[in-house]
Structure 1
Amino acid sequence: MTSVGAIFLPSFPPERLRPVAEAADAAGLEQLWLWEDCFKESAVATMAAALAWTERLRVGIGLMPTPMRNAATVAMEAATLERLFPGRPIIGVGHGVLDWMGQIGARAASPLTLLGEHLDAVRALLRGEEVTADGRYVRLDRVRLDWPPERPPAVLAGAEGPKTLALVGARADGLILPGGTTPERTREAIGIAQQARDAAGVTGPMEVVVFVPAAFGPGAGERLAANARRWRFPEDRLLGAAGTPAEVADGVRPWIEAGAGTVVLQPMDDEPDPEAYVGTVGREIAPLLR
């Protein structure tokens, strides 16, 4: 069954998060996703707050940049959140925007190597294992979590290029595809990741999350087109959905048909009412996609 979520963009002020999270929970929305964009809002702090303010909402981080965070710290944060709110946190990591990583003096010479080492260490720590690693970037000496979760949360990773897609398929629990990924590219990306997963002998299911820009209400089509220009997306490709809730549901089905298990609707940067947005996704759009 397809899961449906929405994004609380970091362009919204942090104090807006509580009413948005509560509106999402009240509307029956399955997932609310947060971004850790530089230099806006910390994803871990906002995730903890959103989980505490709600009863059943799952909250995802899409994603924590690995150059900014020590692998042991990520594992500690993820384990704590999972023990406090079992089954509700969704952990995502990735390269981050390389220019931003350069601004903070953390740009890696090999982001691919860093991501692989980071995934291996974090996932092992969350399984309760003692980890010693002497990699190019991740160095741990007999590290073991005192409070590992009873069931380790899935660790997903963002990817776009073929090398990163293959790495994520082989070494992560799931794949996050960013807004601007077409249905055709979604199918291709899943194929690359799954082929690498099969070659690595990984038998567990691979979660696939895709962010899809979506606008509804008056002027939805124009707002979606303006958003595509703002993000420099090619306007001749299917990159989002717009219109009435029913039209948006129809518009995102190509991503589901391409293999996405979770579709997360991304509001426009100038969305004036994010509370109403998540309410509409939860009450009107999600039921049409289940």
Structure 2
Amino acid sequence: MSSRWGLSLPLTGIPLPAHRDLVRELPDLGYTDAWSAETAGCDAFTPLVLAAEWAPQLRLGTAIAPVFTRGPGVLAMTAASVAEMAPGRFTLGVGASSSVIVEGWNGGVFRRPYQRVRDTVAFLRAALAGEKVSADYDTFSISRFRLERPPAMPPEIMVAALRPGMLRLAARLADGAITNWLAPTDVAKVKAELKPDTELVARILVCPTTDKDAARALGRLLISSYLTVPVYAAFHEWLGRGEVLRPMQEAWARGDRAAANAAIPDRVVDELIVHGHPEECRERVSSYVDAGVSVPILSLLPTGDDPVGLVRALAPAR
């Protein structure tokens, strides 16, 4: 069992303020970490500010904040604010995100993602250390920026990484790598691109239900939505699933979502979505740790059952 056990917040269907009692309970349940994501729901930082107040024992992290959807200065200010709320307990996870989120949902330009992530990490290192930054990076220029409230303890910075180039960048310039949408058997290939001591955080989709058909149906919807996005399609091509996922991707490109979902084999769903009885799910998450994941983040999928009860049931065995 990992010495760290994370939960992705907020839970689906529960308003942010209603998380208070559960978050306060998490350390007693054995959870050590609360991590947030940012797609089209809550922003990545507000849930962590609340968690910092409700459960000051928890380690907090963003997985991830996109580097294209905020200016570098705003990203530094936001990170500094959370770091002030949770000194020594906050990790800023940044990443390129995807063209869907950056361009389709935010009206930005998804261009040269590797370089943008690299430049943002370099800027953040200097800015969060309280330095006055004037620099011409490859993807943006900064003139005389200095945080008015630099954190007493700058946060660790991690990089979302799927393939070798970004994984090596994370190992070289950041404090660790964050990944998702992988099976336990994929961890070794990811780890091979990192330094031996590089921390690896993984968001793991968990659907705690014994209704296998329902879990697989939900898994197919998620797989077809995500693994048709170019960055994830390329990731799974590299992992070796290119051929088995090609029928899904071709059906999706034709606009036939039903055929895309039907083309996903059961074994792919079972590899990428943790499902079953909560105890089985907990053991499967532990297999990611055994393979080399430093911090598993349980991302709870809706099953129709009480999500708070499921969080308790998925707590690490002690």
Partner of 1:92: 93
Larger mean CA deviation between 129-138 and 28-37 belongs to 129-138
State the structure with more CA Rg.
2
Equivalent position to 2:208, from 207, 211, 216: 216
Tell me by how many angstroms 1:128 deviates: 2.7
CA shift for structure 1 position 2:
3.3
Q: For the residues of structure 2 that align with 1:114 and 1:223, how far apart are their CA atoms?
A: 39
CA distance in 1, matches of 2:282, 2:308: 19
Return closer, same or farther for 1:249/1:46 CA change in 2, 3 Å cut-off.
closer
Write out per-residue CA displacement over residues 124-155 of structure 1, whole angstroms, 9 at most, x where no aligned residue: 22223332221233321232323322322111
Q: Distance in 1 between matches of 2:309 and 2:187?
A: 28
* Gap runs ≥5 in structure 1: 196-204
In structure 2, distance between residues paired with 1:71 and 1:258: 35
Corresponding residue for 1:202?
A: none
Q: CA RMSD in A?
A: 2.4
1:1-290 alignment, distance < 5 Å:
2-9=3-10, 11-15=12-16, 16-38=18-40, 40-103=41-104, 104-178=106-180, 180-194=181-195, 205-219=197-211, 221-232=212-223, 235-237=266-268, 238-270=271-303, 272-282=305-315, 286-287=316-317
Distance 1:50 1:60 in 2: 11
Alignment partners' CA distance in 2, 1:3 and 1:108: 34
Q: 1:246 to 1:224 in 2, by over 3 A?
A: same
Q: Matched residue of 1:165: which SS?
A: helix
Going from structure 1 to structure 2, the CA distance change for 1:9 and 1:81 (only over 3 Å counts) comes to closer
Secondary structure of the equivalent of 2:178?
strand
Q: Is the 8 A contact 2:5 2:30 kept in 1?
A: no
Is the 1:7–1:33 Cα contact (8 Å) retained in structure 2? yes
The 2-side partners of 1:172 and 1:271 are apart by 39
| C-alpha distance in 1 between matches for 2:279 and 2:132 | 50
What is the Cα deviation at residue 164 of structure 1? 1.8
For 2:113 and 2:144, the matched residues in 1 are separated by 24
Q: What's the CA shift string for 1:226-270, capped at 9, x where partnerless? A: 232112275324224333443223222331122111111121144
So what's the TM-score if we normalise by structure 1?
0.84
Note the alpha carbon deviations across 1:26-77, whole angstroms, 9 max, x for none: 5241112211112x21121222122222232222211111101122222222
Q: Which amino acid aligns with 1:2?
A: S
**Percent of residue pairs bearing the same amino acid type:** 24
Instruction: Give SS of 1:236's match.
Output: helix
Once the 2 structures are TM-superposed, how far is the Cα of residue 110 of structure 1 from its aligned partner? 0.9
- Which residue in the other structure is 1:201 paired with? none
1:217 Cα deviation after fit: 4.7
